[in-house]
């Protein structure tokens, strides 16, 4: 079993997800979660992800879950998660565990189009809808919101709030100057 697969199984254990390669739905879930997780933690697990019918797909991962079926089902891994990996996955665990199969496909696909193909949010949504016209625009927009939630870390949230605070202080200053003219 590859080291990346040991890591993935450990990540899935933290998320309380078991993968049964005899189930098509379970294999799709493995593919989408593997892609999403590697983007969240910033560590590449499988380099060969390409865009297929249901979004990002890794041939190497497919070989791994068929070859290590029992390890995936039982969650066998000797990989110990680092503090940052653990914190990041714990942060997104409730959200990831609440996603349907369709949500996972949409989120992974949007991430792929944005991160691998360099599309902005709107381009990715349009491209995904063209590739998958069976998806409703509302589902795709919901997927975009989920992507934002997955990547809105505490550090980013603080940076955004500080930026807004600075902007509000500038507006207050300009407003106060304008009011002085009327005194």
107, pLDDT greater than 80: yes
- CA of 167: how far to CAs of 51, 136, 176, in Å? 40, 37, 14
pLDDT band at 158 (very low <50, low <70, confident <90, very high): low
- Is 139 or 3 the better-scoring residue by pLDDT? 139
pLDDT of residue 10: 92
Average pLDDT over residues 55-81: 90
Q: End-to-end alpha-carbon separation of the chain, Å?
A: 76
- Domain residue ranges of the chain, discontinuous segments joined by +: 3-152
Interaxial angle between packed helices 24-41 and 137-151, expressed in degrees from 0 to 180 and rounded to the nearest 10: 40
pTM: 0.81
């Amino acid at each position: 079993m590859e080291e990346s697969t040991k890591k993935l199984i450990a990540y899935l254990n933290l998320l309380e997800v078991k993968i049964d390669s005899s189930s098509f739905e379970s294999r799709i879930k493995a593919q989408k979660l593997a892609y999403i997780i590697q983007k969240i933690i910033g560590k590449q697990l499988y380099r060969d992800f390409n865009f297929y019918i249901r979004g990002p797909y890794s041939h190497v991962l497919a070989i791994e879950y068929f070859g290590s079926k029992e390890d995936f089902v039982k969650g066998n891994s000797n990989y110990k998660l680092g503090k940052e990996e653990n914190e990041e996955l714990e942060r997104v665990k409730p959200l990831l565990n609440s996603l349907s199969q369709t949500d996972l496909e949409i989120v992974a696909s949007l991430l792929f189009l944005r991160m691998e193909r360099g599309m902005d949010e709107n381009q990715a949504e349009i491209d995904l809808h063209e590739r998958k016209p069976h998806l409703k625009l509302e589902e795709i927009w919901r997927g975009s919101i989920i992507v934002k939630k997955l990547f809105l870390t505490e550090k980013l949230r603080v940076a955004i709030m500080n930026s807004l605070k600075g902007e509000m202080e500038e507006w207050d200053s300009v407003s106060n100057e304008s009011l002085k003219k009327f005194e």
